[in-house]
A and B are shown apart, each in its own frame.
Chain A
Amino acid sequence: MNNSILLCLTIGPYGHEDAFAAIALGNAILARDMDISIVLRDNGVYVAHKNQDPSKIGVPNNLDLLQDFIELGGKVYVSEEDMRARGLTKNDLISGVELISSYLELIESHDVILTF
């Protein structure tokens, strides 16, 4: 029986369906009372950018889904190294996310890892 899921998101918002689909899956997992964390790394760090606004390209804002995830009790971690490599600081990100320098501990503490 698997009770904890680590969802590793490496792809940024809007160019692909992956970020939307991954967070939607995260919310479904939360709704079934399983333990789930999302770690944003590589271009996935852009998914937590607080000023994203896709209204002019006619797609849903992934931030709405991510904020739902946090409000439902999901944990969101962001690779600090990948964030800095892209010229971002924590001030560019939504509140409620935690910066991490390694996610080895997260891998060790979850039963299943899904990488998008």
Chain B
Amino acid sequence: MKKKSLAILLCRGPYASEYADIGVGIAKKAMEKGYDVKMFLYMDGVWVQHARQSPKVFPNVGKELEGAISLGADVRACERCSSARGINEEDIVNGGKITSLYDFVQMLKECDKVLPILG
């Protein structure tokens, strides 16, 4: 039987709010429930896959995202949004990708469920 699929559109960055933690948490939980999870990082959401986050107080959502990727999540970030913020391939967590907005359009088309997290 084909796995159910979930696309998450995450548009908010880490620490100013909990949206990034919520998005990554849902991704992990959905994979536990058998979903094939795809996540697209858009606007400030692209900061979530920055590799050198070092929060002193809050949980490191970049590490959490890397964990989600290692469990099978397909995580991609908008190229235009990333380059605008000076985020390049060498700046992102292992397994993360910087790709085209059209990849999210494909996720929209193909996934069974779509969860936008925009705050």
Specify the main secondary structure of chain A where it touches its partner. Answer: mixed
Question: Is residue B111 contacting chain A, with contact meaning CB distance below 8 A?
Answer: yes
Question: Is residue A56 contacting chain B, with contact meaning CB distance below 8 A?
Answer: no
A21-B114 contact in complex given A5-B108, A28-B102, C-beta closer than 8 Å: no
Question: Is residue B30 contacting chain A, with contact meaning CB distance below 8 A?
Answer: no
Q: CA separation between A14 and B85, bound complex, in Å?
A: 17
A115 engages B116 (CB within 8 Å): yes
Question: Is residue B65 contacting chain A, with contact meaning CB distance below 8 A?
Answer: no
B43 engages A18 (CB within 8 Å): yes
For A3, A31, A32, A112, the residue with the greatest tally of chain B CB atoms inside 10 Å of its CB is: A112
A1 engages B110 (CB within 8 Å): yes
A2 engages B109 (CB within 8 Å): yes
Q: CA separation between A116 and B104, bound complex, in Å?
A: 15
Partner of A34 from B80, B108, B114 at Cβ < 8 Å = B108
Residues of chain B within 8 A of A18, CB atoms compared: 11, 43, 118
A21 engages B43 (CB within 8 Å): yes
The total of chain A residues at the interface (CB under 8 A) is: 18
* Chain B, residue nearest A113 (CB): B116
B118 engages A2 (CB within 8 Å): no
Q: Mark A1-40, 1 if CB is under 8 A from B, else 0.
A: 1110100000000000110010011001101101000000
Chain B residues close to A by CB (< 8 Å): 9, 11, 42-44, 80-81, 101-102, 104-106, 108-111, 114, 116, 118
- 7 examples of A-B residue contacts, CB within 8 angstroms: A3-B109, A17-B44, A21-B42, A28-B102, A29-B108, A34-B105, A115-B116
Chain A residues close to B by CB (< 8 Å): 1-3, 5, 17-18, 21, 24-25, 28-29, 31-32, 34, 112, 114-116
| Known A5-B108, A28-B102; further 10 A-B contacts with Cβ < 8 A | A1-B109, A1-B110, A18-B43, A18-B118, A21-B42, A21-B43, A24-B80, A25-B42, A28-B101, A34-B109
